[in-house]
Amino acid sequence: MKIVFMGTPEFAVPSLQTLLNSNHRLIGVVTAPDKPAGRGLKMTASPVKRISVEHGIHPLQPEKLDDPDFLGRLRTMDADCFVVVAFQILPKAVFSIPPKGTFNCHASLLPKYRGAAPINWALIHGERETGVTTFFIEKSVDTGEILVQRPIPLDEEITAGELHDRLAHLGAQVVLETVDGIEQGTLMPKRQNGFVTKAPKLTKELSKIEWHKPSKSLHNLIRGLSPVPGCRTQYKQKMIKLLKSRVVNNIGAEAKPGTIVAIEESGEPIVKTGKGVLAVCEVKPEGKRSMTAAEFCRGYHIKVGDVFG
């Protein structure tokens, strides 16, 4: 089957590579325009562009998806299907072009976590299961008929970064299964059913640690925003990002939320919260590299009674 692939970030790369190595014909790639990045603001290609160029495919990089020249080039490719992984919202003028449809691979079990940040919100809400879904694109975002859905269990320590990588590779498998199924006519698209939840863009306000909240909620927030954007707290007027934590159940303490009430033998500080205590395991001080909390405690001479926030 002739495929045009649309995607931009690292999450889309495993799916692109899987299609490149498949029996299908990848006849085109669409990705975001090069953008300035880094301290020197050097024009930088997207991860999807880098991989496609390595394989001799020079992608289309439209500034606007409704540009007539871009639409014309898509039509002349005569693709059977468009595959979308981590790309922009497509107008109908694009997704209606291929005769076998346009499908998207989304990092949640739709209709749960429709929106821009499904991986983060699943962890922030303490979900015990998530997965990937492929579905035909319709006008309303993330609402189309489901083609393939694959769930996975979640442990209580996995971070958004770790889950991102896991779902990217799972998504690649499901993308290929979906393309095969469309070609063979074996898939039975079904309408989305169940409770709808939203996964909006992450805000700066969300990343601020409010120590009066329960330990479990803070732990889920920390892992849901790790490694980026990271949860923020202050220590002696310095901003600290918390990247990993652990709920501790066997320590009781009376103290103001944010107070370090113990330091474990491992060197990890135990912090009082609004309900319970929380072990801080990995941090990134402002302007510094990420480090274990034990390294942080030694380097900053942290002691019991010090206060975060």
Give the start-end residues of each E strand in 65-207: 81-85, 102-106, 129-136, 146-153
Task: Give the orientation angle of helix 13-20 with respect to helix 47-54, to 10 degrees.
Answer: 20
Give the mean pLDDT of the chain.
96
The pLDDT assigned to 42 comes to 85
For residue 116, what pLDDT is reported? 96
> Which residues, including other chains, have CB under 8 Å from residue 14's CB and lie 6 or more apart?
168, 169, 171, 172
Name the CATH topology of 205-300.
Answer: Methionyl-tRNA Fmet Formyltransferase; Chain A, domain 2 (3.10.25)
Residues of the chain with pLDDT under 70: 252
Overall CATH class of domain 2-184: alpha beta
pTM of the shown model: 0.95
Tokens (6 digits) for 146: 């489901």
279/93 Cα distance (integer angstroms): 51
Q: What is the pLDDT of residue 253?
A: 72
Classify strands 2-7 and 25-30 as parallel, antiparallel or unpaired: parallel
- Which tokens in the block code for residue 265? 């033998």
> According to the model, what pLDDT value does residue 170 have?
98
The contacts of residue 197 (CB under 8 Å, 6+ apart) are: 111, 112, 113, 114, 121, 125
Per DSSP (E only), the strands in 122-237 are 129-136, 146-153, 231-235
The reply to whether omega before 47 is within 30° of 0 (cis) is no
Joined together, the tokens standing for residue 246 give: 């652990």
Query: What is the Cβ-side half-sphere exposure of residue 54, based on CA atoms within 13 angstroms?
Result: 11
Spatial distance between the Cα atoms of 173 and 163, rounded to a whole number of angstroms: 16
Nearest-angstrom CA–CA distance, 245 and 248: 9
In the block, which residue shows the tokens 């085109």?
A: 28
What does the pLDDT read at residue 39?
76
Phi first, then psi, for residue 114 (nearest 5°) are -75, 135
To the nearest 10°, report the CA torsion of 59, 65, 66, 69: -20
Domain boundaries, the chain: 2-184, 205-300
Query: What are phi and psi for residue 178, nearest 5 degrees?
Result: -70, -45
Q: Residue 50's pLDDT is what?
A: 97
